[in-house]
Every structure is written in structure tokens, then in C-alpha cells.
Amino acid sequence: MRLLVTGGAGFIGSNFILYWLKKYPEDKVVNLDKLTYAGNLENLKSIEKNPNYEFVHGDICNPQLVNSLTSKTDVIIHFAAESHVDRSIMDPAPFIKTNIEGTYVLLEAALKNKVSRFHHVSTDEVFGALPLNSKELFDAKTPYAPRSPYSASKASSDHLVRAYHTTYNLPITISNCSNNFGPLQFPEKLIPLTITNILEGKKVPVYGDGLYVRDWLYVEDHCRAIDLILKKGKLGRTYLIGGLTEDIPNIEVIKKILKKMNQDESLIEYVKDRPGHDRRYAIDWSESERELGYHPTYSFDEYLEKTIDWYIENKSWWQSIKTGKYLEYYDKQYNR
């Protein structure tokens, strides 16, 4: 099978390519990535000489390039996006361009070249926010109610993908997943930011009261879920993918990391809240379990520890990122 993976140099995309070529070494993977600040070819160093892997440096908004790659593709797995909520609040423009227009360009090429599957990787943020201390969960029938420029752009892309199925019968599937964590995550996101700040002896910023809740999903469980959707998913369907945590507030996640790294809580610093901050996300993945056999397997505590170890063992990976433009962003975001 020939796969076109977009955004394969980012966090989840690179984990997915490594997962896929290990499990299906006969398949051919083309990775189309613009290498924005979040793309890093270091992530794929171990396979760069693999004859079944090819990297193409380019933009999903470029119709000629996307069309020519898609003409040699069976399946598209679309990860490429601007993915950080705080950056979308600072400057929504690249989110609108890549997440909406880029998805449209890919859909047109997929239709023209009759791909056998277009899998769109989306987020639980399209459903908005759940109340704290409730048992409510997001499921595939939850109405869309995005609240940030990031989630609104992802919601738009989901609607476009569905419309191409309904109107043109394009063979699509969508996954809406919760917060991924694991190796190779860019250190602007909560878990790698906390770990790397601790390793640098810096304060750990907590937005607002710290009582916001995310549903944590180990990245390899997510990769396996996409694999299951490609094999068993029904065309036109949306699958929700979540992890094993039950309502752990951010402050508790940070305290767990501090404890595992033998640090005391004096490093915690409460900072200005994120505007429009979604209170709680929680996923009901039972339908994905029934239909696909999906079940998250990686326990949060154990794999949080493994993630910490990965950042300790791979200092050069993140130290080379936390320089230059990253520091400009960091100073602006945290008013340093």
C-alpha cells in the first residue's frame, strides 16, 4: 500500500510513520511536510535511508504538488495542521490557511485521483468544553461547539471532509482524539513544557486555577487506533479516540511530574489564564471499542514516567528546539 502522510515531521505524524513502517515494512510512505517551527526531521532519522520512506518538503496548500503526490497514493492520512491553541489566539491566520484551505486542497486531489481512503486526524476540541465535576463525555453525536481559532479551524476542516463524502462519495474516515502525550512532542505543550522547564531549572507555568481537565492519550495508542480505523472503519464515519485517565486536573498532572522528577512544588507558578480556556475534555471511546476493537492500553502514570525518561535521555533533541524563535514565542506567551 502507498500512503501519503501529511505533517509527518510533527509529533503524532512522526510517531505514526515510525509505528507504521515497523508494523508494515512492505508499505511505501511519503511524508509531505512544510517543516514549520513544529516539524523536525530529527524525529525520522532512524528511517531516512529506508527505501520505502520518502520525505517531500512542501505545503499542503500547494495544489500542483499535492495533486502530483496524490496521483501515486492509495491512502492519505492527514495530520498536517497548526496545532497549538495559544498560538492560534496570538495569530489565527496560519490556522485558517493550513487547517481549512490545506484540507480543501487535499480533498480535491483525493477526489481527482480516486484514493481508496482519506483519513482526517481531528481533535476533541471541536466539541467545545464540558463542565467540571460532571460525568458528561464527548461522543460522535456531540454537537460541534468550537471555542478557539484552532478548534474552529479544525471543526471547519471536519465539516469539509464530511461534505466531500456526502456530496461526492469520497471514501473518508475521521478520528477526533484527546490530548496526546509521549516522545517527540514539541515543548510548547503542557507535558513536555513542564518536563523540560524542570530540567532547565525554570518555573512551571499553570494557567488560571489549574483545575482544567484533559483526557490523556499515549501517542502509540492513537497510532494503533488509526491503524484500526484504516482496517475496520466504516466509510463516512467519525471515531472518537481517548485514553485511560479519569479527570486529572492540570495541577495534578504537574505535581505528578514534579514528584517523579524529585522536585518540590515551589517550581509551580500560576500565570494569566488562556482566554476562552476550555474547562474539561473527556471522551467516550466505547463505540470505537465495539466497532473497531479499540481499547487504550498505556496507563497514564507508567507512560508519563517513560515520557519523562525520554526527555531526560534526549536533551539535545529539545535543547536545539528551545532556542531562537521558540524563546521569542515563550517570552511573549508568558510575559517574561
Pairwise CA distance, residues 166 & 238, whole Å: 13
| Residue among 238, 303, 264, 317 nearest 46 (CA) | 317
Min dist CB 124 to ligand DAU, Å, is 5
Query: Is-catalytic flag, 124?
Result: yes
Pick the catalytic residue from 33, 125, 220, 227.
Answer: 125
Whether the CA torsion 10, 16, 21, 27 is positive or negative: it is negative
Decide if residue 13 touches ligand NAD (CB under 6 A).
Answer: yes
113, 180, 196, 307: which one binds ligand NAD (CB under 6 A): 180
Q: Which entry of ligand NAD, ligand DAU, none binds 288, CB below 5 to 8 A by partner kind?
A: none
294: annotated active-site residue: no
The answer to whether 11 contacts ligand NAD (rule: CB under 6 A) is yes
218 is known as an active-site residue: no
Q: Which of 20, 55, 164, 186 binds ligand NAD (CB under 6 A)?
A: 186
Q: Is 198 near ligand NAD (CB under 6 A)? A: no
| Residue 250: CB minimum distance to ligand DAU, A | 5
Q: Report residue 166: phi and psi, to 5°.
A: -65, -45
Alpha helices in 83-144 (DSSP H): 85-90, 93-95, 103-112
Residues 33-62 contacting ligand DAU, CB under 6 A: none
513544529: which residue's cell? 38
Residues 281 and 136: their CA atoms lie apart, in Å, by 9
Q: Which three cell numbers stand for residue 287?
A: 463505540
Is 193 near ligand DAU (CB under 6 A)? yes
DSSP E strands in the chain: the ranges are: 2-6, 28-33, 53-57, 75-78, 117-123, 172-177, 179-181, 204-207, 213-214, 216-218, 238-241, 248-249, 268-271
Binding residues vs ligand DAU (CB under 6 A): 83-85, 123-125, 178-179, 189-190, 193, 205-207, 212, 214, 250, 274, 281
Give the residue numbers marked as catalytic: 124-125, 150
Q: Which residues bind ligand NAD (CB under 6 A)?
A: 6-7, 9-13, 32-36, 38-39, 59-61, 79-83, 98, 102, 121, 123, 154, 177, 179-180, 186
